[in-house]
Amino acid sequence: MKIIMLGAPGAGKGTQAQMIASEKGIPHISTGDIFRANIKEGTDLGKEAKTYMDQGKLVPDELTVRILLDRVAKDDCKNGYVLDGFPRTIPQANVLDEELAKLNDHVDFAINVDVPDENIISRMSGRRACPKCGATYHVKHVPPKKEGICDKCGSELVLRDDDKPETVKKRLGVYHEQTQPLIEYYTGKGILRTVDGTVDPKDVYAAINEILAEV
Ligand code: AMP
């Protein structure tokens, strides 16, 4: 099953993507995590991506599409995947559809985790991420077992630079301008499903599970 998670930054799509992926036994692919891993390793790709990410801008389509297509071509993606943070623009969605069509394949669902802007900024300031393994938490909604420490790998959690309030405001603007049109795009394809992202993450997940049972 191939699933796309849509939603504003901070809507909780990463948390839901992780839950779906572990339940279904398919990889959770976050382009943001791939960029961050490259930044950490100091690769050329990381250096280029960082200049955009630090400003709350999108990394150019060409670069983003290349890393995504490389990733989904790997063996562990044979039975599907959950994409978190890709596509973020109409051209990215077009490339994904074209590449899948070549393989006689398609995206099954685009799940829009809907959260109004006014909830997003206060939410993001509570977000914490593991710089080592990429796991994400929220101090209130998805706390780690031990405060400030990653459940999965024991590293110290951080507030990412791009989750800071000034960057979040910029990212919301970019989301409305460049990513929101994807809602219409996937509605047109008949695969968009919207869930209320303001409720408890477990209830968001239950709503998503009902949708996935449609297949
Ligand atoms: P995320 O972790 O998904 O919120 O992504 C963090 C940042 O990485 C974004 O603000 C963008 O700068 C960049 N990024 C991640 N995914 C994409 C994408 N599909 N297209 C362009 N930029 C992206």
Q: Quick check: 182 and 6 in contact, CB under 8 A? A: yes
| Cα Rg of the chain, angstroms | 16
Instruction: Give pLDDT, residue 191.
Output: 97
Nearest-atom number in ligand 1 for the CA of 86 is 19
Q: What is the pLDDT of residue 141?
A: 80
Contacts of 183 (CB under 8 A, 6+ apart): 6, 112, 192
Assess whether the C-beta atom of 120 lies below 6 angstroms from ligand 1.
no
Q: Which of 61, 69, 88, 167 to mutate to test the pocket of ligand 1 (most atoms within 8 A of CB)?
A: 88
Q: How confident is the model at residue 104 (pLDDT cuts 50, 70, 90)?
A: very high
Domains and CATH numbers, the chain: 2-212 (3.40.50.300)
The β-bridge relationship of strands 192-196 and 81-84 is unpaired
- 146-174 mean pLDDT: 91
For residues 22, 25, 30, 31, the Cα torsion angle rounded to the nearest 10 degrees is: 170
pLDDT at residue 215, rounded to an integer: 72
167 lines ligand 1 (CB under 6 A): no
Which of helix, strand or coil describes residue 137?
Answer: strand
State the pLDDT at residue 206: 97
Average pLDDT over residues 170-195: 96
Q: Higher confidence at residue 161 or residue 191?
A: 191
Q: In this predicted structure, what is the pLDDT of residue 85?
A: 96
Structure confidence at residue 134 (pLDDT): 87
Q: Ligand 1 mean position to 58 CA, how many Å? A: 6
Q: What's residue 125's pLDDT?
A: 83
Average pLDDT for residues 107-130, to the nearest whole number? 91
Q: Which residues are catalytic?
A: 13, 88, 127, 160, 171
Q: Give the atom of ligand 1 at the shortest distance from the alpha carbon of 35.
A: 8
- Does ligand 1 have an atom closer than 6 angstroms to the CB of 93? no
The type of residue at 13 is K
pTM: 0.87
Mean pLDDT of the chain: 94
pLDDT tens, residue by residue, 57-96: 899 999 999 999 999 999 999 999 999 999 999 999 999 9
Model confidence at 163, pLDDT cuts 50, 70, 90, reads confident
